[in-house]
Amino acid sequence: MGIASKKQSVQDWITQQWVILFGSRIDKLKYRWLLGPFGDINGVGLKFIDQLAEKEHLIVDNQTEKRGLIQSINQLNLSENEIESLSQSVIDFYENTSNYELELKVKWNPFFRIFGILLRIIFSKRIEQLNVPIQSIKNPAGLTSEIIHMLDSNSKEIKRIIWFRKFKSTGQVVYSGVYEICTIPSGKTCIKAIFPLPNGNATVILAPRVGMIGELILESTGQEIGESGFYFLLKDTKGHIWTKFIKSFKDRLVVTSKNGRITATQTLTLWNMTVLNFEYKIINTGSQ
C-alpha cells in the first residue's frame, strides 16, 4: 500500500491517504488521458503558475490579447450538425474567454452549506484552491477573471491554459484551474478541468453536447474510472500515482445565448441531491 507524504499538513495527509486506501493505483502510460499537473505542498494559487512554468519550461504569453479556454471549438470533435446549431456567441466565449466578465449568483442546498463553510476553513483558504463562494457575488468586478496561456519556451506553442480567478476585494484565490482537451477510453472527446492540490489534483472531465436551442451542455455522468466524472489524483512517497473516482458526484454546466445575452447554469449534485447551483451572467467586454 502507498503512503502519502508526511511532510505536509495533517488534513492534507489524511485526505491523500483516504485516496490511497479507497482508490486505485494507476499506470502513467495507460492513464495518460487522466493525468495533469500536480500542486506542491506549499500552497497553490499564484505560486503554482510559477512552479509549473519552471517544471515544464514554459513562459507566460503576455502579447496575445484574446485568449480562450480552448483554442478552437473544433477541438471538441462535435458533429457537423452540432457545430452548425451551436450558438456563435457561446463559441466566441470559449475561444475568446478573456473578453468576458462573469456575474455570479450562488445558491447552496442548506444541508450542504455547512460543509462548504468547513471546506473553506480547513482547506480552501489555506491552499488557495476551490474557494467556493458561500454567497452571491453580484458585482461583476467583485471577481477577477484571467485566462493565462503558457507557451513552450522554444516553439512558442500553447502548452497550458489556466483560468485564474480571485476575489477582488480581498485578493483571495477562488480557484486556479488548468483546462485542456482529452479523449477518454471510449473515444469521446471531453473538456478536462484540473485543479492542482498539494501533491495531487482534483480533476473534472466533462463530456460536451449541443442542446435543442444551440446551448453547449457539459456533463460528468460516468459510473466508473475511464468515463466522464470527478477524480482525485495524488502522488505517494514512492512516486506512484493513485486515483479515486467519485461516481456519486456529478457536474452539469449549460451555456446558453438568447437575445444577445449569454448565461450559464452549473449544478453540482452528490448522491442525486443538489449541493449548489451557480448562475452566471456572461458579459462581453471585448468591444467596449
pLDDT value at 138 more than 70 = no
pLDDT value at 287 more than 60 = no
pLDDT at residue 175 in the model: 77
For the chain, give the mean pLDDT. Answer: 88
pLDDT band for position 80 (cuts 50, 70, 90): very high
Which of 246, 227, 175 is closest to 33 using CA atoms?
227
pLDDT value at 90 more than 80 = yes
CA atoms of 60 and 147, how far apart (whole Å): 11
Q: Spell out the SS3 assignment of the chain.
A: CCCCCCCCCHHHHHHHHHHHHHCEEECCCCCCCCCCCCEECCECHHHHHHHHHHHHCEEECCCCCCCCCCCCHHHHCCCHHHHHHCCHHHHHHHHCHHHEEEEEEEEECHHHHHHHHHHHHHHHHHHCCCCCCCCCECCHHHEEEEEEEEEECCCCCEEEEEEEEEECCCCCEEEEEEEEEEECCCCCEEEEEEEEEECEEEEEEEEEEECCCCCEEEEECCCCCCCCEEEEEEECCCCCEEEEECCCEEEEEEEEEECCEEEEEEEEEECCEEEEEEEEEEEECCCC
pTM of the shown model: 0.91
pLDDT band for position 105 (cuts 50, 70, 90): confident
- Dig out the grid coordinates for 162 from the structure: 489556466
pLDDT at residue 14 in the model: 85
Counting residues of the chain whose pLDDT is more than 90, the rounded percentage is: 62
pLDDT at residue 288 in the model: 46
> Average pLDDT for residues 46-73, to the nearest whole number?
90
pLDDT at residue 47 in the model: 78
pLDDT at residue 286 in the model: 74
pLDDT value at 48 more than 70 = yes
The larger pLDDT score, comparing residue 112 to residue 273, is at: 273
Q: What are phi and psi of 279, to 5 degrees?
A: -120, 125
pLDDT band for position 41 (cuts 50, 70, 90): confident
Q: What are phi and psi of 49, to 5 degrees?
A: -60, -45
pLDDT at residue 135 in the model: 67
pLDDT at residue 97 in the model: 95
pLDDT band for position 174 (cuts 50, 70, 90): confident
Of 22-36, 94-108, 129-143, 172-186, give the lowest mean pLDDT range: 129-143
pLDDT at residue 269 in the model: 95
Of 42-56, 219-233, 242-256, 263-277, give the lowest mean pLDDT range: 42-56
> Average pLDDT for residues 118-147, to the nearest whole number?
66
pLDDT at residue 44 in the model: 66
pLDDT at residue 130 in the model: 65
Tally Cβ neighbours within 10 Å of residue 207.
20
pLDDT at residue 254 in the model: 98
pLDDT value at 143 more than 80 = no
